[in-house]
Amino acid sequence: MKSLSGMLGAMLLIFTPAVGRNSGNGRLVCQGEYSYAGSEPAKQANQRKLDSWRMYALPDGSYQVEVELATKPGIPQIVEHHFFTSDFQPKGFTFLVPAAPPDDEKPVQLDCDYEPTQIHCRASFNGTASSATLAQKMPYVFMPNAEAPVFDMAWFFQMLVSQAKRSVGAKTPVAVVSLEDGETPDSIALKGDETEQVEYLGQEKIQVLEQSIVAHKFRTVDSEESQDFWLSPSGLLLQMQMGDGKIILSNYQGQPLK
């Protein structure tokens, strides 16, 4: 019998981004897509779509982002949701794989609440329920599986860098919390023994979707290879430079990015 964290890791390796569900009580604010592109100009035309997403404003002033995930034929659909506070700070996460015939696999669901001094997660797997809580002060980010660290890379890194202090030269340590197997079968545990240092480099004008935008620039400074990030004034990830490639906001509809 597979463990929950092991099964999630396997799914992250075989699934490719795209189809979700509509928010029941929110107002659509914006929607878009992220894509991966090579750094060289000749490779720009060969973009690979990573996801499609929709952001909703909820009645309490918070936000919900629905990331659309597409699966290979015959693979159950995956639903992913990210929740943010009114000032666009991480608030929670939901991951769901519905039951899928003909194998009658039971649904898998993972829900996490990001609180100021702790993270609490609940999981349903193999027909059993489990929960775990870890004392952890913000800022922190949740990495569902250490071997395949994110479900949707663009939104994971948005949450990582958006919590950094916006004072030029300031370096903010952001804890990374990951999911692992608990002490009993089908149970979960949370671990928080890694930290990313995020440095704020100031503002920089970049071109996004044929628009000139003055973006906030950040850099991870203690990784094996540093990565640069540009966020819009409202906190939306516009671009991420990673080695020989980059993640870009390749489609957008909604409120002005400026």
Query: What does the pLDDT look like over 194-248, one tens digit per residue?
Result: 999 999 999 999 999 999 999 999 999 875 678 999 999 999 999 999 888 999 9
Q: What share of the chain is helix, strand, coil (3-state, %, to 5)?
A: 10, 55, 35
For 75-120, give the DSSP string: SPP-EEEEEE-TTS-EEEEEEEE--BTTTTBPPEEEEEEE-SSEEE
Percent with pLDDT over 90 in the chain: 55
Query: What does the pLDDT look like over 18-40, one tens digit per residue?
Result: 333 345 578 999 999 999 888 66
When divided into structural domains, the chain yields a total of 1
Residue 258 or residue 12, greater confidence? 258
pLDDT computed for residue 257 by the predictor: 87
Domain, as residue range, for 202: 4-254
- pLDDT(190) > 50: yes
Query: What does the pLDDT look like over 3-23, one tens digit per residue?
Result: 554 444 443 333 333 333 345
